[in-house]
Structure 1
Amino acid sequence: MTPITTLFRAPAAARAAKTLDRSLFSAILPAAAALVRDRTLLSRYQKELRRTRELLTGEKLRPIVEHPDPALARQGLRCMVLDPTVVQPSSPESWSSVLKEALKSGDLTLIPYDLKIDYTHWSHVDVLKAIMPEDLQDEIPSGFNSAGHVAHLNIRDQYLPYKHIIAQVIMDKNPHIRTVINKTDSVGSENEFRTFSYEVLAGPDDLQVEVKEGGCVFTFDYAKVYWNSKLSTEHGRIAALFKPGEVVADVMAGIGPFAVPAAKGGVFVWANDKNPESYKCLEAAVEKNKVSQFVKPFNHDGHQFIREAADLVLEASRRGDRAVIKPTVKVSRTSKAPPPKPTCVPVPPTISHFVMNLPASAIEFLHNFRGLYHGHEDLFEPHTETKLPVIHVHCFAPKPNNDAAVEEVVDRIEKEIGIRLKPGSAEVEGEAHFHEVRDVAPKKLMFCVEFRLPREVAFAPRD
């Protein structure tokens, strides 16, 4: 792949510009093209010149073009554009043996070719590198969160003078983006619902979006609920741990990125979020994705929800709550066989997993598990084959991911539940699995700590 910047550098006028002049990224470069004697040889030489890296390659750069002479082009003559950084027409010593032999045999003929470069050929990173001053080249804003048609930036102070041009380039290079916003405050412990203030940098102030993830559709106002497209892998990873027919308690469910896809797989989910707007969107997602038999939405405080969830599930099980799955097999009208019966999936009496995706403060909710199953020891091993629930608690930790970072998290968990866990496997009593979710900031990581609820905590007297 030939970087556009090796072919052509934008003029000095582009550097430190506050408005976007797309014409500065256009040029006509002298190059050479290889005219093929017989069009049946085109595919062969295209492969060979690509292997020798003499064929022009690059984003939106066409290596196979019509003959530059319009009259010959109308006759169907085509040629292969050669990379001007590799092939010098006046310097045969720069040619590969493949090119030399093809020219000697007459299969190929070199002709001059004007290679036209314009703004469309540049990646958004290369455009921004051409614009940013030399002292701002290290951490150019290149990534962004997205939700539907909205791109969400978090621009650092030193790049704020260029925020509008950054936004415009992102819109130009990402056709599905129609609105670009910049976060103007923090998300996390500073904001109870993980929403944020923002400014619109480009496009209309329209944050009503539709997102598809995990085979499900979510519709929401991005300004009123929390959504992070960078967590899609984590959503899928955890949902894959659930088994059909289990109950999962999603304590900070948001609009349902864990709950709704899991329910699609036949998992019962008690899904809670304190934000009334998230709760409304969760209810809408449950209906839209047709999983109302498997998801029960709640709009409670997370502390309260943890303390009540086990009792609510047990009551539902004893009531005989169930999901009734209609058969998907169509029976012919002429068939005399009786139609297949619906399948009934009963709600089990215990919760198998708790998900706590509020990394800024989720650990501070763990003390609520004390006494969760007090008086119900008979529901679990050794009285039955059922194990105590696995807790998936997300949290932040300082970089790097080393023993010190892990120990800090272990200390915080011990402070809440009174048990010190050892790094290891979530399936081993007294151990916890530490999964690094993603890089959040230069000095911050996001973890998911997974451990089975200790018996001393689950069966302790309730406060």
Structure 2
Amino acid sequence: MNVFRPVVTRAVSGVLDRSLFAKTIPLTAAIVSENKLISRYRKDLEKSKEILSAERISAIAPHPDQTLAAQGKKCLLLNPAVKPAAPDTWGAVLKEGVDKSELEVIPYSLNLDYEYFGALDVLSVVLPPELHDEIPSGFNVAGHVAHLNLREAYLPYKKLIGEVIVDKNPHIRTVINKVDNVGSESEFRTFAYEVLVGPDDLDVEVRENDCSFHFDYSKVYWNSKLEGEHTRLIRSFKPGEVVCDVMAGIGPFAVPAGKRGVFVWANDMNPESYRYLQEAIQRNKVGMYVRPFNEDGRTFIHKAADSVYAASQAGDHALIQVKKIPVPPTISHFVMNLPAMAYTFVHHFRGLYAGHEELFAPSTETKLPLIHVHCFALKSDDEVPLLDICERLINELGVKMVPGDAEKEGEVSIYNVRDVAPAKRMWCASFRLPREIAFAAR
């Protein structure tokens, strides 16, 4: 039994009673005769494993006598296995210190309360045992807002869960719970929600990849759990390249890429996302590199290729410290982060560079674009989801594809982004646009 766990205190009618978490743990303390000896004895007692080792509790504490504590006297808290009246539980370091009159062993009462325990500790004792398998301790964060997606079994305790999240996360003021599905059921990936705790204020500011974003979370899509995926792809873009972000949202790929000197044609069909994307471009001073658009991604794919070529022909460039950085004539990457249906867009790449074969190898050293398609598939460690993803791409493109290396013809690199449900995973399938697709008639 872990003595530093809270006492079991099942919530009555979903009400959180913080006073029930008060707990006194009987320990043993070693009073050090002189404060200058504390550091040495702490190290020696750590080596002999006699010192207290517990999360968020310092082994050095004020003397239990308040008068002596006011004078600066301290003590060392010991392992719960050490008993003050049982010298046979003392180790060699403690015994030697007592023999030298440098240490005095006394009982010590450690008082803990609700503030000490973490969110998982609290929820694990207030929720019934049958709900312990998936305690909702993880959540999406947008500024001061925590976004939950509670399963039905947890709904009777939703207010309590929200209170604990606010209590244990100082930057969180509002907790919301999604009440419908995002993806194919919502054109702009927005969702209906209910406020569990705090003000109904979803106007937020966030920072990611050294960029600042401001938006109304109820009107656009944002997922803090995708920061790692944003970073991974952004690092694969090279300064001076062109990236086309087909479903850019408010710019978590586009804006940081622009900061790295990457040209980005960033599009989103949601007018609100487009508005906040424009604000993010201005706020982060990447206007020379990032161009925002508000169009249907299906038609934007061809328009972007044509627009980039036209911009290059017109001599468009970024000017950095008197140095001109020209817009190249071709797009190096297409990002399609709409996992519910992005793969259905890929047939729109047919004819992307029809009539422009001379822009690519072998006429030049330029490769055809890498296409990054985010999608959902089965959570499995075998090849089943990989083959499923390739089959979808084959059905859309009419070209054979197998899991493998995106730099090899006919192969797809498939990256495990994150788990989104017990049997569902988000993946990113990356492949070079096949020549027979790129140069087909439009």
The TM tier, using the shorter chain, reads: over 0.9
Distance 1:374 1:104 in 2: 90
User: Quick check: 1:392 aligned with 2:372?
Assistant: yes
Residue 88 and residue 447 in structure 1: after superposition, are their counterparts in 2 closer, same or farther (change >3 A)?
Answer: same
**What SS does the corresponding residue of 1:367 show, helix, strand or coil?**
helix
User: Quick check: 1:299 aligned with 2:279?
Assistant: no
8 A Cα contact 1:217 1:285, kept in partner: yes
Match of 1:176 among 171, 174, 180: 171
**Which letter does structure 1 place at the counterpart of 2:329?**
P
2:97 is aligned to 102
**What SS does the corresponding residue of 2:39 show, helix, strand or coil?**
helix
1:193 is aligned to 188
**What SS does the corresponding residue of 2:166 show, helix, strand or coil?**
helix
Structure 1: gaps of 5 or more residues: 327-341
User: Quick check: 1:158 aligned with 2:153?
Assistant: yes
1:284 is aligned to 279
Shift of 1:11: 4.7
2:82 is aligned to 87
**What SS does the corresponding residue of 1:240 show, helix, strand or coil?**
helix
Shift of 1:402: 1.6
Residue 11 and residue 431 in structure 1: after superposition, are their counterparts in 2 closer, same or farther (change >3 A)?
Answer: closer
Shift of 1:401: 3.1
Distance 1:114 1:421 in 2: 67
**What SS does the corresponding residue of 2:236 show, helix, strand or coil?**
coil
8 A Cα contact 1:8 1:27, kept in partner: no
2:384 is aligned to 404
- Superposed, which structure 2 residues align to 1:88-237 within 5 Å? 88-237=83-232
Distance 2:178 2:206 in 1: 20
Give per-residue Cα distances to partners, 1:413-454, cap 9 Å, x unaligned.
000111121211111111111110001100101110111111
**What SS does the corresponding residue of 1:29 show, helix, strand or coil?**
strand
- Superposed, which structure 2 residues align to 1:34-113 within 5 Å? 34-84=30-80, 86-113=81-108
Shift of 1:16: 5.2
8 A Cα contact 2:3 2:25, kept in partner: no
User: Quick check: 1:242 aligned with 2:237?
Assistant: yes
Shift of 1:70: 2.1
**What is the root-mean-square deviation of aligned Cα atoms in Å?**
1.4
Task: Give the TM-score normalised by structure 1.
Answer: 0.93
Structure 2: gaps of 5 or more residues: none
**Which letter does structure 1 place at the counterpart of 2:354?**
H
Shift of 1:62: 3.0
User: Quick check: 1:382 aligned with 2:362?
Assistant: yes
Task: Give the TM-score normalised by structure 2.
Answer: 0.97
Distance 1:446 1:7 in 2: 37
**Which letter does structure 2 place at the counterpart of 1:267?**
V
The alignment covers a number of residue pairs equal to: 442
Distance 1:207 1:310 in 2: 36
**Which letter does structure 1 place at the counterpart of 2:293?**
F
**Which letter does structure 2 place at the counterpart of 1:111?**
I
2:435 is aligned to 455
1:433 is aligned to 413
Shift of 1:50: 3.0
Residue 185 and residue 53 in structure 1: after superposition, are their counterparts in 2 closer, same or farther (change >3 A)?
Answer: farther
2:19 is aligned to 23
8 A Cα contact 1:16 1:132, kept in partner: no
2:266 is aligned to 271
> Sequence identity, in percent?
58
8 A Cα contact 1:390 1:450, kept in partner: yes
